[in-house]
């Protein structure tokens, strides 16, 4: 028997609240770089563990740090004076029954591959130093993986919700638009380090966007500020085509800029990321597993990226709670919002959480007693199939940042 509780919330949906704040860090942001690479490392290790050991072994690669390098951006093209340093941390199994896995080599090669694919101007051999600090896992946690029924390797709570508000949708869509291949062809000066902050007051939306410009494409100061205005108009056109229900949309890009300060008054980078010389990055400091940082919503502080997908509920329940919430919202009529809460106990089977709770903001006239059994059925079904879900998670089928 699973402990499933259903309750109604007497509150206004976020969409109807007066103020809403939502943020997204793009793929070139130092925190997103860490999240993306460590998740890829986990997926690569899962594949190698299966090939060599016949099963996924214990690992958590969620303590990575990207140390900023030193750069000297200049109009027309600057220099990288000191490379970034990517430090891989935490634990992983290197050896099992006399069979060995080259954990460090897999981590480094995975990182190099990600840089090549995702950041146009970062040379993974020249611009990044790699430091492997991944240590062997503890015997107690490694033992969990030898059991017939996989138990949770932590006592942890997670929460997911559905649906996205229009503000949440536009934040994630604007960042993806700006970092799309088509956009880079149109605006090559637009770097990958992009952060979108949305502030909605009633139906008026303000987007504050930080965007690293690539200096080699900027011939002079006029080119920078003209290009910035062209990109702003492109974003405005993109938003208008989404047919969202906003009365007014303001878009501000690089608000620290000052035309009177020359190069120092422009957000210029050599490689398109602030990690080249300004900002460090760390796993877990960026987007939540659904791709945004939504300040009006409850959220877990767990760093999901890089955690093992078999027993670490800080990852499993974080992603699964959003999946369940989305399914409940889409399959059961009469719901404004749904929040799914999951809490584990260390060592207990992951398909039987200590509590699985659904909190609902219902539409007028909907009786929770009528839909309660249907909601319980959805939760029950998802928990029953959790091992299929974790297998898909190990293959990287669900984004976590």
Say if residue 178 is in the same domain as residue 273: yes
Angle in degrees, CA 173, 177, 178, rounded to 5: 120
Say if residue 270 is in the same domain as residue 318: no
Say if residue 158 is in the same domain as residue 300: yes
Say if residue 320 is in the same domain as residue 258: no
Q: Average pLDDT for residues 144-173, to the nearest whole number? A: 87
pLDDT the model gives residue 260: 87
Q: What is the DSSP letter of 357?
A: E
pLDDT the model gives residue 153: 85
For the beta carbon of residue 45, count every other beta carbon within 10 angstroms. Answer: 25
The answer as to whether 401 is a domain residue is: no
Say if residue 102 is in the same domain as residue 178: no
| Three-class DSSP category at 95 | strand
Is the pLDDT at 150 greater than 80, yes or no? Answer: no
What digits encode the pLDDT tens for the residues 289-298?
999 999 999 9
What digits encode the pLDDT tens for the residues 188-200?
999 999 999 999 9
In the chain, how many H helices and how many E strands? 9, 20
Q: What CATH number is given to the structural domain containing 331?
A: 3.30.300.280
From residue 374, give the alpha-carbon distance in Å to each of 55, 110, 320, 326, 333: 35, 43, 18, 14, 10
Q: Which of 251, 282, 313 marks a domain boundary? A: 282
Is the pLDDT at 140 greater than 60, yes or no? Answer: no
The answer as to whether 22 is a domain residue is: no
Is the pLDDT at 138 greater than 80, yes or no? Answer: no
The answer as to whether 174 is a domain residue is: yes
Q: Average pLDDT for residues 91-107, to the nearest whole number? A: 94
Phi (first) and psi of residue 347, to 5 degrees? 90, -20
Q: What is the rounded distance in angstroms from the CA atom of residue 187 to the CA atom of residue 227?
A: 8
The answer as to whether 97 is a domain residue is: yes
The answer as to whether 59 is a domain residue is: yes
Say if residue 251 is in the same domain as residue 273: yes
Say if residue 300 is in the same domain as residue 159: yes
Q: What is the chain's mean pLDDT, rounded?
A: 95
Is the pLDDT at 282 greater than 90, yes or no? Answer: yes
Q: Average pLDDT for residues 116-135, to the nearest whole number? A: 97
Say if residue 367 is in the same domain as residue 379: yes
In the chain, the number of structural domains is 3
Q: What CATH number is given to the structural domain containing 78?
A: 3.30.300.10
Q: Average pLDDT for residues 38-47, to the nearest whole number? A: 98
pLDDT the model gives residue 144: 56
Q: What is the rounded distance in angstroms from the CA atom of residue 15 to the CA atom of residue 166?
A: 7
Can you give the residue range of the structural domain that contains 49?
30-138
Q: What CATH number is given to the structural domain containing 224?
A: 3.30.300.340
Say if residue 87 is in the same domain as residue 236: no
């Amino acid at each position: 028997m699973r402990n499933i509780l259903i309750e109604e919330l007497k509150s206004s949906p976020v969409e109807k609240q007066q103020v809403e704040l939502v943020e997204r860090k793009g793929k070139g942001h130092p925190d997103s770089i860490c999240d993306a690479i460590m998740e890829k490392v986990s997926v690569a290790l899962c594949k190698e563990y299966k090939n060599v050991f016949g099963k996924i072994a214990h690992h958590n690669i969620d303590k990575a740090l990207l140390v900023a390098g030193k750069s000297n951006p200049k109009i027309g093209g600057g220099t990288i004076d000191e490379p970034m340093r990517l430090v891989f941390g935490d634990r992983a199994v290197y050896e099992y029954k006399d069979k060995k896995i080259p954990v460090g080599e897999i981590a480094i090669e995975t990182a190099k591959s990600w840089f090549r694919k995702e950041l146009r101007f970062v040379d993974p051999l020249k611009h990044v130093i790699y430091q492997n600090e991944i240590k062997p896992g503890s015997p107690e946690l490694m033992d969990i993986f030898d059991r017939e029924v996989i138990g949770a390797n932590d006592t942890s709570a997670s929460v997911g919700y559905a649906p996205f508000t229009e503000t949440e949708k536009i934040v994630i869509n604007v960042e993806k638009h700006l970092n799309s291949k088509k956009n880079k062809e149109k605006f090559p000066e637009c770097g990958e380090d992009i952060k979108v902050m949305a502030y909605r007051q009633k139906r008026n939306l303000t987007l504050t966007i930080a965007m690293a410009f690539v200096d080699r494409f900027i011939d002079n100061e006029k080119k920078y500020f003209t290009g910035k205005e062209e990109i702003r108009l492109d974003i405005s056109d993109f938003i208008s085509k989404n047919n969202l229900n906003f009365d007014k949309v303001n878009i501000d890009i690089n608000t620290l800029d000052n035309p009177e300060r020359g190069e120092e008054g422009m957000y210029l980078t050599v490689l398109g990321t602030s990690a080249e010389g300004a900002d460090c990055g760390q796993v877990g400091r960026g987007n939540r597993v659904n791709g945004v940082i939504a300040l009006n919503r409850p959220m877990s502080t767990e760093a999901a990226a890089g955690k093992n997908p078999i027993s670490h509920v800080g990852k499993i329940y974080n992603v699964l709670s959003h999946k369940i919430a989305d399914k409940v919202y889409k399959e059961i009529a009469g719901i404004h919002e749904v929040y799914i809460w999951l809490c584990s106990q260390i060592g207990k089977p992951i398909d039987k959480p200590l509590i699985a709770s659904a909190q609902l903001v219902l539409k007028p006239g909907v009786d929770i007693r009528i839909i309660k059994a249907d909601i319980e059925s959805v939760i029950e079904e998802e928990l029953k199939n959790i091992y299929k879900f974790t297998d898909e998670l190990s293959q990287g089928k669900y984004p976590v940042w």
